[in-house]
Amino acid sequence: MASGVKAYSNGKNKNIRLYVCKDYEALSKKAALIVAAQVNTKPESVLGLATGSSPVGMYKELIKLCKEGSVDFSKVCSYNLDEYFPIEPTNDQSYRYFMNENLFYGINIPLDCTHVPKGNAADIKKEAADYDRAVANAGGIDLQVLGIGGNGHIGFNEPTDTFILPTHVVDLKEDTIKANARFFASIDDVPKRAISMGIGTIFAAHSIVLIASGKAKAKAIKDTLEANVNPQVPASILQLHQNVYVVIDEEAASLLNEYKPE
Ligand code: GLP
């Protein structure tokens, strides 16, 4: 166990391994070790990747591990969860740009084996269907990395009345637009729509690592792990998955009451 990391389990969700880390740095290291172990066990792994501020520390750690020769991404391929729509991949607010800058340029993954939904596709519905087909043709996702929105969204699967299974086009909720405005010059510049892997695409991953840090995520983490599974908290579907790591810091864990030290 990495230092500053405590493992917890829960009678209800034995499939979820919860790691509560001292701080963001410990969380990033722990999550990076999970990804590196996946790639070392299966060098041709298919990784599902996420954007947002949560995985940035984990990506820095993976770059370090790769540069020191502890992990080799040369046979890995990746599929990202989501992208704004419409947006050009060269726009510095696009998720393609984010992934290039925060991970891909720093590791030895072949860039043409990295996939991010095309936010500038002429036919975005076709792009969504093609994306699910491409993931399936690659053999499915071995390990999916997830962050979480304050409202419990994963990818851009916003709270809804039913779980939306395939990759699809989404109208972003006002609170998501507000939360993401911090990366744009003004809130009016935030795209109002996105293309996102669906809940079914995410759920089909062989294993999943969800990362979250800070008090602002504590309620979403509590609802994800302890509320009834329901589409108003999209991440709660993870309670039904067979192989989930939840790697969070003490602040994000602060509202949990059902988990006990292992
Ligand atoms: C965006 C992304 C999600 C991400 C979420 C949280 O909405 N589409 O994939 O998990 O933001 O981001 P952050 O990690 O910056 O809090």
* CA of residue 53 to ligand 1 center, whole Å: 7
Pocket test for ligand 1, best of 54, 116, 174 (most atoms within 8 A of CB): 54
Question: Other CB atoms closer than 10 Å to residue 135's CB: what's the count?
Answer: 20
pLDDT digits (tens, 9 = 90+) for 114-157: 999 999 999 999 999 999 999 999 999 999 999 999 999 999 99
pLDDT of residue 61: 98
pLDDT given for residue 257 in this prediction: 87
- Chain position carrying tokens 């851009």: 156
Helix axes 95-102, 56-67, angle to 10 degrees: 40
Quick: pLDDT tens for 28-85: 999 999 999 999 999 999 999 999 999 999 999 999 999 999 999 999 999 999 999 9
Name the DSSP letter for residue 234: G
Give the confidence band of 2 by pLDDT, cuts at 50, 70, 90: low
Residue 59 within any structural domain of the chain: yes
Distance CA 215, CA 125 (A): 36
pLDDT at 191: 95
CA dist., res. 211 & res. 188, Å (int): 29
Interatomic CA distance for residues 76 and 62, integer angstroms: 13
- Burial of 122 (C-beta count, 10 Å sphere; 0-12/13-18/19+): exposed
Evaluate if residue 103 carries a pLDDT over 90. yes
Confidence label for 1 from pLDDT (cuts 50, 70 and 90): low
Catalytic (active site) residue 158: yes
Ligand 1 atom closest to Cα of residue 176: 7
Spacing, Cα 138 to ligand 1 middle (Å): 25
Task: Report the chain's mean pLDDT, rounded to a whole number.
Answer: 95
Q: For the chain, what is the domain count?
A: 1
Q: What single-letter DSSP state applies at residue 157? A: B
39 found inside a domain: yes
For the whole model, what pTM was predicted? 0.96
Find out whether 184 and 93 touch, Cβ atoms under 8 Å: yes
Is 174 among the residues known to form the active site?
A: no
Q: How far apart are CA 136 and CA 138, in angstroms?
A: 5
Contact 28, 58 (CB under 8 A): yes
Q: Which atom of ligand 1 is nearest to the CA of 53?
A: 15
- Is 236 inside any structural domain? yes
| Residue of 83, 132, 142, 158 marked active site | 158
Could you identify the atom of ligand 1 that is nearest to the CA of residue 217? 16
Q: How far apart are CA 211 and CA 12, in angstroms?
A: 20
Known catalytic residue: 130? no
If we measure between CA atoms, which residue out of 131, 150, 246, 151 comes closest to residue 200?
131
17: Cβ contacts below 8 Å, ≥ 6 apart: 7, 9, 244, 245, 246
Q: Which domain holds residue 94?
A: 16-261
The CATH number of whichever domain residue 125 belongs to comes to 3.40.50.1360
pLDDT digits (tens, 9 = 90+) for 156-175: 999 999 999 999 999 998 98
Structure tokens at 261: 């030290």
Question: For residue 170, how many other CB atoms are within 10 A of its CB?
Answer: 22
User: Could you confirm whether 115 is annotated as catalytic?
Assistant: no
Is residue 253 assigned to a domain? yes
Asked whether 168 and 248 are in contact (CB, 8 A), the reply is no
- Examine residue 72 and state whether it is found in any structural domain, yes or no: yes
10 within domain boundaries:
no
DSSP-assigned beta bridge partners for residue 77? 46
Tokens of 54: 């949560």
- Residues 202-223 have a mean pLDDT of 97
Tokens of 194: 């996105």
pLDDT band at 9 (very low <50, low <70, confident <90, very high): confident
Active-site residue, selected from the candidate residues 80, 102, 151, 180: 151
